[in-house]
Structure 1
Amino acid sequence: MSGDNETFYALSAVSAKGEPINFTDFRGKVVLIVNVASKCGFTPQYKGLEELHEKFADRGLVVLGFPCNQFGAQEPGQEEEIVEFCSRTFNVKFPITKKIEVNGDNAHPVYKYLKSQKSWLGFSGIKWNFEKFLINKKGVVTARYTSVSTPEGMVADIEALLKE
């Protein structure tokens, strides 16, 4: 895929409630995209992701969670169960999408694009739950973070992009 930032804005997803999420709505915003799972050792990162959402949404940060069951079958629930778990356990208010695949032939177009723009140590495939991609206000993928990178550790990068 082209590195053209317009490609990012041509993408879309579907919320867990079945509503369209059009990336054209993200022009001029910083976007953080994360593949999430409810039964993973990294699941507590939902708390930090929600804190980022609460702290920076008014300044233009969009956090999007994409549930995926490709790693250790750690997201077995249906969309309604996933949203309920996130809300009840971590008070998540940022958008959660329908469950997707991030690797392989059936990878969601959003993840095909993200992986084409930012590899990790030469490896493009997603390695585990809670990998993160940061996209600037112009639709350019500026950073990719591994599962062990905490949301709190991304604050400086997010603040820098929000100031651009």
Structure 2
Amino acid sequence: MPDYSFTVNGRTVSVADVEPDIGLLHVLRDLLGITGPKYGCGLDVCKACTCHVKEDGRWVATTTCNYAVADADGREFRTIEGLGEGGLHPVQQAWLDLDVAQCGFCQPGQIMTAAAMIDNGDPIDDEAIDGIENICRCGTYCRIRSAIKVAAGASGPIARRVT
């Protein structure tokens, strides 16, 4: 079996004796100990495993459960552990400020999807947020939507948790 090298969170890593079609998620979690991306469905549906891959100078949100490690060879990735680059990313801060997480399982994937949109200068409006396909088992979509708008500096109704 071949060896694969790629960059994760600014660090070049190599994995040896790995089947070429094993999902990058399993390599990240089981071989590299990077546990931010979560295994949810394994079918590219729930998107709890979302990370960023660099394509043409942009960070693109991508699911890693079905992303073959052979396709990762030579590429650059960013997980939620590398998102803030020395501090919290605005999306992470908004998540905390608005108390978005309930169980928290989907949150790394949710945050990575929103961060890619914001970092790439994509429009953050209701239509763009409606296009996000990450699944939240707890249904905190109103708070997720608000946190994305806050992080992007967009206007609109803000859902705050009442305590």
In the superposition, the TM-score normalised over structure 2's length comes to 0.30
Higher Rg of the two aligned structures: 2
Q: Larger relative CO (CA 8 A, sep 6+): 1 or 2?
A: 1
In the superposition, the TM-score normalised over structure 1's length comes to 0.29
